Amino acid sequence: MSVLSVKNLTFGYEKDKPVLKNISFQIEQGKYIALIGHNGSGKSTLAKLIAGLLELQSGTIEVFGELLTDKNISVLRQKIGIVFQNPDNQFIGATVRDDIAFGLENNCVPHKEMDAIINEFAEKVNMTDFLDKEPTRLSGGQKQRVAIAGVLAMNPKIIIFDEATAMLDPKGKKEIREYILKMKKEDESLTIISITHDIEEAYNSDEVLVLNNGEIFLKGTPEEVFKDKNKLKEIDLDLPFLMKLKDKLSDCDIDVKDVKNLEELVNKLCQ
Amino acid sequence: MPINFDHVFYTYSKKTPFEQVGLEDINLSFNDYKFIALVGHTGSGKSTLVQHITGLLLPDKGVVHVDDYVITPKKKENKNIKKIRENVGLVFQFPEYQLFEDTVLKDVAFGPKNFGVSEKETIERAKSAILKVGLDESYFERSPFDLSGGEKRRVAIAGIIAIKPKVLILDEPTAGLDPQGSKKMMQLFCEINKNGTQIIMVTHDMDLVLEYADHVLVMKDGKVAKESSPLDLFSSSDYKELSLDYPCVFAVATELIKKGMKIDLTKIKNLDTLVEEIKKGRDSYE
């Protein structure tokens, strides 16, 4: 089932300068989608339009088959959660508990139920011990985990991660990435859209969407998208490390075309 | 430019319940190196260290020497600090959040203007810095707030380059940039480095450390845990004990070595040199 259907979407912040140009695509339920492309290619704009944070100018967005309009935006928005890049910009509460509660309060969840929900999701992201701590005393990774708990507590069906790990150190990045995979395992119907510059992450996703200059440049499984390396080079997009290495070796007439991972590559080279 | 740390101590939120060690007995000398990488986990003291070089933080104990200037714990003694900042440019992490002017050109010109450079030269320097970071003339009159994240980053870096510092300190300059943007940014830093500007770069990317740095400093709990060449760091088991990542190119090379291929780790700096070594290693098989 398609959870998200975007048709002929055009959007610009200034007149005659479209950031997105006539974009159409569909996303199936339960998929892990990597949205890649250069800085300025329109990725975040697209995410904000899907999450209903920007007003549509032309084109349509359907969420679970329902057309996104001014009237139903607040209802449909509950199905979509978004985690932004900067952990410091998404804190509202004075404590971790208050912060997770914020979304619930907005949705008029009765106070009696709220505590249980907060505890449940704090536990899921492993932040139970921090519930009464001030957000400023947390590390970047911990802050992003709280942001994720806040989003999860709203029970969304689609979660957009807008470079959610870009500001974290390698340990924080790993933490969040592992957490996303765990989340996905627990609820297979959850759809994830990850805006990322991490080519290795994109390589391990279900489907890759490449944006360039506000247009969809490529779309398909990672194998399909990264197979077309000349096309990716055309727009100066990076390749996964293994592919770059394979490429360079092929240039030197060393045949490693068929290897699929590092181990196979090493074995092949040492034959 | 000579930079020396002499028994420097710094504590955050001193005499409060939140007291936390920032730096503990740091002794350093950066004189002999051109490109220094500063690595270590979040909270290890990297940013605290670089903020001492520009006098943004004053030591609790000890002295920092920058060229002829001395930074001491006493506020009153540090009158020349503005001079230091003219010579040492610090690009903070996520500098795009510091843009404030209404056009890109004005924002980049702010630094040199502030240091008393003539109007005409300020504009020239600003224009050339903007072009250097890979933006074209059409950006001069645009508002920095309408740019994408990566473009904003470039504008912020141009602002520091326009000051023409002798030492350029970069706090994770490529974090959050797309891979191609990072590559171009690193090429720019390399060029600036070759033209005689010393670079101190805070980073988590060990492949960058291996490729560009001639010296690496590992911080841990406010102390210097190791100081060596990148090669020494990654060819001993120290990097593991310090729980640092291993450069991708070395990961491939060591696997090949395990399988018996003859590979000279000292020759490997990046993908190209790795491929060169693999070629040689295979030739020696036949």
**Tens-place pLDDT, residues B11-23:** 988 888 878 889 9
| Interface test mutation site (partner B, options A162, A266, A267, A271, max chain B beta carbons within 10 A) | A266
Mean pLDDT to the nearest integer, A41-56: 91
For residue A218, pLDDT beyond 80: yes
Note whether B185 and A39 are within 8 A (CB): no
Q: Taking CB atoms and an 8 Å limit, are B149 and A245 in contact across chains?
A: no
For residue B219, pLDDT beyond 80: yes
Mean pLDDT to the nearest integer, A44-50: 92
Q: Taking CB atoms and an 8 Å limit, are B275 and A249 in contact across chains?
A: yes
Q: What is the mean pLDDT of chain A?
A: 88
pLDDT tens figures, B154-213: 999 999 999 999 999 999 898 877 777 888 889 999 999 998 999 999 999 999 999 999
Length of chain A: 271
Nearest chain B residue to A244, by CA: B271
- Residue B261 C-alpha, separation from nearest chain A C-alpha, in angstroms: 7
SS3 percent helix, strand, coil of chain B, rounded to 5, is 45, 20, 35
Q: Where does residue B223 rank: exposed (0-12), middle (13-18), buried (19+ CB within 10 A)?
A: middle
- Residue B262 C-alpha, separation from nearest chain A C-alpha, in angstroms: 10
Indicate if the alpha-carbon torsion angle B26, B30, B33, B35 is positive or negative: positive
CA B76 – CA B70 distance, rounded (Å): 12
Q: Taking CB atoms and an 8 Å limit, are A39 and B204 in contact across chains?
A: no
Indicate if the alpha-carbon torsion angle B221, B225, B227, B231 is positive or negative: negative
Task: Identify the H or E element spanning B73.
Answer: none
Tokens, residue A85: 């890049």
CA B191 – CA A252 distance, rounded (Å): 29
Residue of A19, A21, A81 lying closest to A52 (CA atoms) = A81
pLDDT band at B286 (very low <50, low <70, confident <90, very high): low
Touching check for A166 and chain B: CB below 8 Å? yes
For residue A141, pLDDT beyond 80: no
Q: Taking CB atoms and an 8 Å limit, are B146 and A13 in contact across chains?
A: yes
pLDDT band at B285 (very low <50, low <70, confident <90, very high): low
Nearest chain B residue to A164, by CA: B176
- Residue B83 C-alpha, separation from nearest chain A C-alpha, in angstroms: 32
Residues 6+ apart with CB under 8 A from B279: A252, A254
Residues 6+ apart with CB under 8 A from B103: B140, B141, B142, B143, B144
Report angle CA A234, A239, A241 to the nearest 5 degrees.
Answer: 155
Q: Which residues in chain B are closer than 8 Å to A237, comparing Cβ atoms?
A: 178-180
Touching check for A269 and chain B: CB below 8 Å? yes
Tokens, residue A174: 């790993």
| Interface test mutation site (partner A, options B42, B177, B239, B258, max chain A beta carbons within 10 A) | B42
* Ranges assigned E (strand) in B60-214: 61-66, 69-71, 88-91, 167-171, 198-202
